Structure 1
Amino acid sequence: MEDVMRSQLVLIIAAAAALAGGSAVADPVSVEVLAKPQEQMKFEFADGSKHFVLAARREGVAEGSGVFAGATITEIGWHDVNPPLWGDPQGYFQVTAENGDVAVLRWWVKAVFTKGEGGLALSNNGVWQLVSGTGQFADKRGVGTLVIKPRGGPTLFILEGEVGDKA
């Protein structure tokens, strides 16, 4: 697990350096998306653990600032979780701007469970990376942080970071 986290840290540093070293200034992104389930499939393991995998497609509108604000966000996620031990969610966001341009973001999260008031507390923190796009996103790259806050229905996704021109 340390190797995965180290690889993600290297990716973030490299992407941030690439954005900072470009001729154009990267634009900040700060959005929240309350995404409602459209399709979900949950697989539970019959081994006595609480281990499950959730395949999810959720949708919502990004509220906040930056190039993703106002866009429709579709999450395509694979949430591999074994409470109270660990979680390893990952997936993609398809960001569709109001004009129809599309950005594809890849994301990874580490879920950490700790003792909280009244039960387990969950921290879902990770990173996102802009990997491809059309229109205004075609020649862009971006990277940032991602926080996931499950709510027993719609899930809150918080994305912060930067988007700039390809090097």
Structure 2
Amino acid sequence: MQHRIVLACILSLMTLGAVCAPAIPEEQQQNQPHAGQLTQAKPFTVELRFDIKKGEPGLPNEYTRLVFADGSNRYVALVRRSGKVVTEGALRGATVQEWGFHEVTLGPETNGRGTGYLVITRGPGDILYLKTQLRQITVAGKRGEPRSAFNGLWEVSGATGKFNGLQGAGTLRIKRLSESERQWVLEGELSEP
């Protein structure tokens, strides 16, 4: 009996909510996404540049490392690096900060993994948060010398201001341009807000 009373109350409230819900003008209904509707994703490519020694003026560059003393040749690093977006488009000139946690094993075949976030800021209140997963492997380079290759994944995990509502994901590559300069290339798809 109690279950019937509770069910009747719920149904009454649902009916009352439908009757009392404010009417939305038809022109606004056409502009609002319906439940489950996704916006069109477009191809997306952006290039970031980091100077891991200097960073961007006025932004912190921090690197802290814990070396394991157990003979395993491992270390973990907490990084906060700053850089810039250098490609054309809506993000051109934006500042970027990498907040990362990296686990690395040194040796003839150095390898590692990292997770973190890229915080892309373009003007006050316009912030795009990208979650990243990185993988470092050793591959044969020129003349058979081993070199590290860095690749991974990214996805939008939050946004504010003009970036609010953006959704997307893709792949990333990191290339060592010099002793201190790193190039990050992110490719994938990004929807408009």
TM-score category of the 2 structures, normalised to the smaller one: 0.7 to 0.9
TM-score in terms of structure 2 length: 0.66
* Higher share in strand: 1
- Alignment match, 1:3: none
Structure 2: segments with no counterpart, 5+ residues:
1-36, 54-60
TM-score in terms of structure 1 length: 0.75
Structure 1: segments with no counterpart, 5+ residues:
1-20
Question: Sequence identity of aligned pairs in percent?
Answer: 29
Name the structure, 1 or 2, with higher relative contact order (CA <8 Å, separation 6+): 1
1:55 counterpart letter in structure 2: L
Q: Distance in 2 between matches of 1:74 and 1:118?
A: 34
Q: CA RMSD in A?
A: 2.3
Q: Distance in 2 between matches of 1:81 and 1:113?
A: 12
CA spacing shift, 1:53–1:118, aligned 2, 3 Å:
farther
- 1:91 aligned onto 2:116: yes
CA spacing shift, 1:28–1:66, aligned 2, 3 Å:
farther
Report how many aligned residue pairs link the two structures.
146
Q: Residue 99 of structure 2: SS of its match in structure 1?
A: strand
- Alignment match, 2:131: 106
Q: Distance in 2 between matches of 1:136 and 1:51?
A: 41
Q: Deviations over 1:18-49 (max 9, x none)?
A: xxx84435252322322435111011111223
Q: Deviations over 1:105-144 (max 9, x none)?
A: 0000111113444743111111110110101211110112
- 1:124 aligned onto 2:147: no
- 4+ aligned runs moved over 4 Å, structure 1: none
Determine if contact 1:111/1:123 at 8 Å carries over to the other structure.
Answer: yes
Q: Distance in 2 between matches of 1:26 and 1:125?
A: 22
Higher radius of gyration, 1 or 2? 2
- Alignment match, 1:81: 104
CA spacing shift, 1:69–1:145, aligned 2, 3 Å:
farther
